[in-house]
């Protein structure tokens, strides 16, 4: 993805781990670790998520899928902010985000078997008997 602030250092070799290391160094160089408690980072993350939502407020479903280039760049910036705060929060809590995401996906595959939930957006607790 390209856009404002694009950097060749985000080339294919980039990983969540390389981002985690770079973000930690960024915060340390500015003496910001003192402010990066899990609580503060979680609050910042939700604030950035709200800024993302603002870009889609009042758009139709179709319009939300076909953003103008400037709007798409602004959305990319908000997504980057969200990712940054998410990675910093996980770092502070020593959570392996990829492992956690794959574990959650495996649980969701069990909770929502494709052959039983295809095309149905209800949550697991909304099915008769609790699960699909």
CATH number reported for the structural domain that contains residue 53 in this entry: 1.10.287.1080
Confidence of residue 129 (pLDDT cuts 50, 70, 90): low
pTM: 0.83
- pLDDT reported for residue 14: 87
Q: Is residue 124 part of a domain?
A: no
Q: Is residue 27 part of a domain?
A: yes
Residue, of 11 and 50, whose pLDDT is higher = 50
Q: Is residue 35 part of a domain?
A: yes
Express each pLDDT in 28-51 by its tens digit.
Answer: 999 999 999 999 999 999 999 999
DSSP 93: T
Express each pLDDT in 62-113 by its tens digit.
Answer: 999 999 999 999 999 999 999 999 999 999 999 999 999 999 999 999 999 9
Print the domain residue range for 88: 16-118
- Angle, helices 97-111 vs 69-92, to 10°: value is 100
Number of domains in the chain: 1
The whole-number average pLDDT for the span 119-131 is 76
- pLDDT reported for residue 107: 96
- pLDDT reported for residue 4: 47
Sign of CA pseudo-dihedral 115, 132, 62, 81: negative
CA pair distance 30, 118, nearest whole angstrom = 49
CB atoms within 10 A of CB 57: 7
- pLDDT reported for residue 3: 47
Q: Is residue 7 part of a domain?
A: no
């Amino acid at each position: 993805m390209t856009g404002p602030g694009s950097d060749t250092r985000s080339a294919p070799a980039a990983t969540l781990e390389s981002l985690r290391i770079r973000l930690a160094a960024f915060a340390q160089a500015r003496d910001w670790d003192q402010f990066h408690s899990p609580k503060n980072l979680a609050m910042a993350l939700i604030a950035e998520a709200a800024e993302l939502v603002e870009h889609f407020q009042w758009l139709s479903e179709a319009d939300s899928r076909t953003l103008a280039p400037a709007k798409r760049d602004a959305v990319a910036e908000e997504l980057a902010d969200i990712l940054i705060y998410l990675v910093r929060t996980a770092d502070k809590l020593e959570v392996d985000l990829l492992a956690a995401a794959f574990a959650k996906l495996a649980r969701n595959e069990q909770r929502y078997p494709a052959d039983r939930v295809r095309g149905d957006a209800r949550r697991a607790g909304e099915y008769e008997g609790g699960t699909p």
